């Protein structure tokens, strides 16, 4: 699985990240690097690295919030859910949960932080609608006290910032040992 994942990530270098100006791979590397720079532990760094695996390692015809042009069809699940399911057998529950939550974390932050929506890119605002829109007060209340909520919100902020054109990061190879440690099991 580690090799398949690394291959998919290498292939993501040729894919634009949604409608953003960076590639899927650049976005993943920037997100993981931001987590690492902020002192996040390895599990959270891994979650950041693979959070969009549902975009580049999964047939996008299965994904309801794909930013690729797709024929209409019954696609019930977002890339975050499909991606979390893909990695769940190999990673700690916390990692899969943070990946699954990264769209809901945006919906949560839109509901709880007045300025957050204004910082989102146009693409991110578009997918917000596909992902259910701003959370209701009841949805926010349901998440209160959840042990990994802070991790998921941190991932989301790094995700939002990981769209800088031309930013230098360590290469994918630098992350291979971490990927192997979890996905070779």
Contact 65, 127 (CB under 8 A): yes
Q: Which is nearer to Fe ion, 65 or 159 (CB)?
A: 159
Quick check: 151 binds Fe ion (CB under 5 A)?
A: no
Minimum distance from residue 159 beta carbon to Fe ion (Å): 4
Quick check: 52 binds Fe ion (CB under 5 A)?
A: yes
**Strand, helix or coil at 23?**
strand
Quick check: 160 binds Fe ion (CB under 5 A)?
A: no
CA angle, 86 then 146 then 29, to 5° = 45
Q: Nearest Cα to 162, choosing from 124, 128, 118?
A: 124
Instruction: From 82-90, 112-120, 122-130, 152-160, give the range in contact with Fe ion by CB under 5 A.
Output: 152-160
Quick check: 159 binds Fe ion (CB under 5 A)?
A: yes
CA angle, 95 then 101 then 104, to 5° = 170
Q: Which is nearer to Fe ion, 119 or 141 (CB)?
A: 119
Quick check: 26 binds Fe ion (CB under 5 A)?
A: no
């Amino acid at each position: 699985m580690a090799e398949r994942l690394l291959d998919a990530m290498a292939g993501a270098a040729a894919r634009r990240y949604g409608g953003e100006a960076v590639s899927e791979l650049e976005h993943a590397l920037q997100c993981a690097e931001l987590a690492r720079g902020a002192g996040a532990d390895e599990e959270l760094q891994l979650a950041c690295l693979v959070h969009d695996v549902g975009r580049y390692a999964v047939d996008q015809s299965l994904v309801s919030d794909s930013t690729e042009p797709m024929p209409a069809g019954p696609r019930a699940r977002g890339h975050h859910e499909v991606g979390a399911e893909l990695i769940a057998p190999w990673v700690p529950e916390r990692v899969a949960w943070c990946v699954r939550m990264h769209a809901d974390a945006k919906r949560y932050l839109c509901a709880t932080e007045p300025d957050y929506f204004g910082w989102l890119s146009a693409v991110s605002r578009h997918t917000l609608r596909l992902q259910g829109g701003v959370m209701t007060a009841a949805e926010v209340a349901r998440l209160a006290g959840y042990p990994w909520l802070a991790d998921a919100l941190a991932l989301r902020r790094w995700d939002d910032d990981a769209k800088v054109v031309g930013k230098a990061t360590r290469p994918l190879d630098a992350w291979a040992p971490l990927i192997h440690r979890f996905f070779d099991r």
